[in-house]
Amino acid sequence: MCGIIGVVGRKQNAPQLVIDGLKRLEYRGYDSWGVAFSKRTGLTLEREIGKLEESGARLKQLAAERAKLALGHTRWATHGGRTVANAHPHRSCDGRIVLVHNGIIENYQELRDELKAVGHRFQSETDTEVLAHLIEAARPDTKTLAEAVRLALGKIQGSFAIAVFEVGGRELVGARRGSPLVIGLGLDQAYLASDVPAFLAATRWVIFLEENDLVVLNGGRPVIRNLTTNKIVTRSEVQISWDAAQAERGEHPDFMHKEIFEQPATLRRALGQPRRELERFAKLIHQAYGVFLVGCGSAYHAGLTGLYLFSHLAKRHVNLAVASEFPCYEEFLTPKTLLVPISQSGETADTLEAVRAAKRRDVKVAAIVNVQGSTLMREADQSLLTLAGPELCVLATKSFTSQVALLTLLAYTLADQYRAGRNLLERAADELDAQLAEGTMASQLQALARTLKAREHLYTVGRSLNYPTALEAALKIKEVSYLHAEGFAGGELKHGSIALIEAGTPVLVFASRDHAEAEILANAMELKSRGAQIIGIAPRPNEIFSNWLPVTDLPEAMPILGAIPAQLLAYELALARGLDPDKPRNLAKSVTVK
């Protein structure tokens, strides 16, 4: 959710690097931002409400300042409203401690009352400011800032990723518990950030901090200690496979457009998984006595697709849970169970909580994840990387289809048909490549979006493998265009949902040439007879369809082939309604708090 970027080193360009980093963290979602630079002449602190682009002239001035130590933060309002006073960075009473924080301090009110009782004055409503005052209170009794930070964090209940400096100091101190923090290792500078894209243009060498790590950065070799024991710990350096170009828009108008059109390539990258890794993963599923897939949002829809694929192709029963509801299933876990968490970021709080609950019961964890070195990847016993590259639009597009591609390949591998699965997905990627390059689909969807932009409601319907796709399509449309959309199973329409249909109601119908085709077309006819505008996403036309969006006739690949026209429709609806598709309101890319 919120974004952290800190820079320290020998060069005087830290302000420019922090502002560049904040721009690369915008995808995480925010409603205010702030920066702080420690200079020879004192402190520069700037905080604003709104987007960075709204302060273009001031940002140029700030970027031109000279400092070796700087912090930046993008904030979503949680504790305290959307005000300048509540924006980060926060300072201590004496102004010397400067701090940014992601997470939730659960006992902040109790600590705030204690600090106020001994004379501390608060300027904001946030839980974060408490930590700045706690560090200030501990500082006179400690030799280093890091020790004061460690003592202050010992009083905190909750989650945090923090970056702190002392005005006039030369060190940047960071710590994490329950919220991600990663170090970037440059030649003359070190970086501390919530996510790799913040500094990817400068370095691909990183260290992922573990739970309860505290780090001191000064531009040289990081010193990392355990918060509890205060002992030095060793963490591995990792070279990230992403490059800076993947985190740039290039010639595309926005990241959502870029990431939709990247999908033929990202599907092929997903297929680049070594066969032996897929077979190892499939063996865990085969040997398990009870398998649970868990995910949130689009990852949950990918999991639902996986459930159908494992049943249909591999004749294997698996369970599925929304990660936040997984506590309802914990009593059924045994050491023979396998948990399969699905996540783009690998930092989703509810998904990680499910993983930790499973680990407490000695359950094996085999993850499907996009971000190399993420918390999920480190905590899982085995992982498959989707290899989709950085996804900077808030909405999941290429990460969703890559997750579905891996689940499809796993189902075929379980059925001892790996080659058939690979051939299917290679053909799907080729067909998508041709379709997207031709441009007919995009122009057709632009015209359709213009006719739908003023509608209040839109519904999506599917059966069997197309039901999860219908759910995902509805999620994409409401996320980015704010048009109310709901997805239904075709067989459920008569159980209440059909009451919503009136003359002109648009309904997306996903219809493959499979065992469910006749039934979903019958559902579409029922809807049309009640006045619905039927938009068919199908391999062949039908007189029922008011609009037809053609897809290739590959039923087992329909969850991928059908998702992309839905993504493009959502995108075009956002543009038609004058909205920014990369930064939908109230949403964050990585939901790292519960």
Sequence-distant (≥ 6) Cβ neighbours of residue 222 within 8 angstroms: 183, 185, 190, 207, 215, 216
* CATH 3.30.230.10 correct for 439-582: no
User: CA–CA distance from 212 to each of 194, 228, 233, 590 (Å)?
Assistant: 15, 7, 11, 20
Structure confidence by residue, pLDDT tens digits, 140-162: 999 999 999 999 999 999 999 99
Q: How confident is the model at residue 41 (pLDDT cuts 50, 70, 90)?
A: confident
Q: What does 119-151 look like in DSSP terms, one character per residue?
A: T----SS-SHHHHHHHHHHHGGG-SSHHHHHHH
Tell me if residue 2 is catalytic.
yes
Burial of 353 by CB count in 10 Å (0-12 exposed, 13-18 middle, 19+ buried)?
middle
Reply yes or no on whether the pLDDT at 592 is more than 70.
no
Helix/strand/coil for 514: coil
**What are phi and psi for residue 110, nearest 5 degrees?**
-60, -45
193 φ, ψ to 5°?
Answer: -150, 165
Cβ-proximal residues to 287 (8 Å cutoff; 6+ apart), any chain: none
Give the helix/strand (H/E) hosting 56: helix 56-63
How, if at all, do strands 533-538 and 506-510 pair? Answer: parallel
364, 528, 583, 589: the catalytic one is 589
339, 354 contact by CB (below 8 A): yes
Classify burial at 231, counting beta carbons within 10 Å of its beta carbon; exposed 0-12, middle 13-18, buried 19 or more.
Answer: exposed
Tens-place pLDDT, residues 206-227: 999 999 999 999 978 899 999 9
Res. 517 pLDDT band, cuts 50 70 90: very high
Q: Which of 388-397, 403-412, 431-440 has the lowest mean pLDDT?
A: 431-440
> Which element (helix H / strand E) includes 255?
helix 255-261
**From 2, 296, 364, 528, the catalytic residue:** 2
Give the sheet arrangement for strand 338-343, strand by strand.
Answer: 319-322, 291-295, 338-343, 364-369, 382-385
Percentage above 70 pLDDT, the chain: 98
- Nearest CA to 34 among 43, 22, 17, 42? 22
Residue 398 pLDDT more than 70?
yes
pLDDT at 430: 94
Q: Rounded to two decimals, what is the model's pTM?
A: 0.86
* 589 has catalytic annotation: yes
Q: How many angstroms separate the first and last alpha carbons of the chain?
A: 11
Least confident of 121-130, 151-160, 167-176, 304-313: 121-130
Selected residue with higher pLDDT from 566 and 123: 566
Q: How confident is the model at residue 251 (pLDDT cuts 50, 70, 90)?
A: confident
Residue-level pLDDT at 307 = 97
447 φ, ψ (degrees, to nearest 5): -65, -40
Structure tokens at 363: 């359950």
Task: Tell me the backbone φ, ψ of residue 79, rounded to 5 degrees.
Answer: -80, 110
Give the pLDDT score at 576. Answer: 96
The Cα–Cα gap between 388 and 569 comes to 21
CATH of 249-430, one of 3.30.930.10, 3.40.50.300, 3.40.50.10490, 3.30.1200.10: 3.40.50.10490
**Is the Cβ–Cβ distance between 117 and 133 less than 8 Å?**
no
Give the CA dihedral 555, 557, 563, 569, nearest 10 degrees.
-60
Between residues 94 and 242, which one has the greater pLDDT? 94
Of the candidates 150, 198, 165, 141, the one whose C-alpha atom is nearest the C-alpha of residue 88 is: 165
| Residue appearing with tokens 């929304």 | 322
Lowest mean pLDDT among 30-44, 69-83, 145-159: 69-83
Lowest mean pLDDT among 369-373, 401-405, 435-439: 435-439
What is the rounded distance in angstroms from the CA atom of residue 409 to the CA atom of residue 406? 5
Q: Where in the chain is the domain with CATH 3.60.20.10?
A: 3-246
Its sign, for the CA torsion 526, 528, 532, 534, is positive
| Residue 322 CB coordination number (10 Å) | 17
Of 481, 475, 493, 464, the closest CA to residue 559 belongs to 464
- Please give the Cα distance from 175 to 163 (Å, whole number): 7
Residues 6 or more apart whose CB falls under 8 angstroms from that of 214 comprise 146, 149, 150, 153, 173, 174, 175, 224, 225, 226, 227
The pLDDT tens digits for 537-590 are: 999 999 999 999 999 999 999 999 999 999 999 999 999 999 999 888 878 666
For the chain, residues classed under CATH 3.40.50.10490 are 249-430, 439-582
CA distance 426 to 433: 11
7-31: average pLDDT: 89
Burial of 374 (0-12, 13-18, 19+ CB in 10 A): buried
Instruction: Give the pLDDT score at 192.
Output: 97
pLDDT of 415 strictly over 80: yes
Question: Residue 459 is which amino acid?
Answer: Y
Directed axis angle between helix 418-438 and helix 275-287, to 10°? 120
Tokens at 118, concatenated: 């001994």
CATH of domain 3-246: 3.60.20.10
For residue 339, is pLDDT > 90? yes
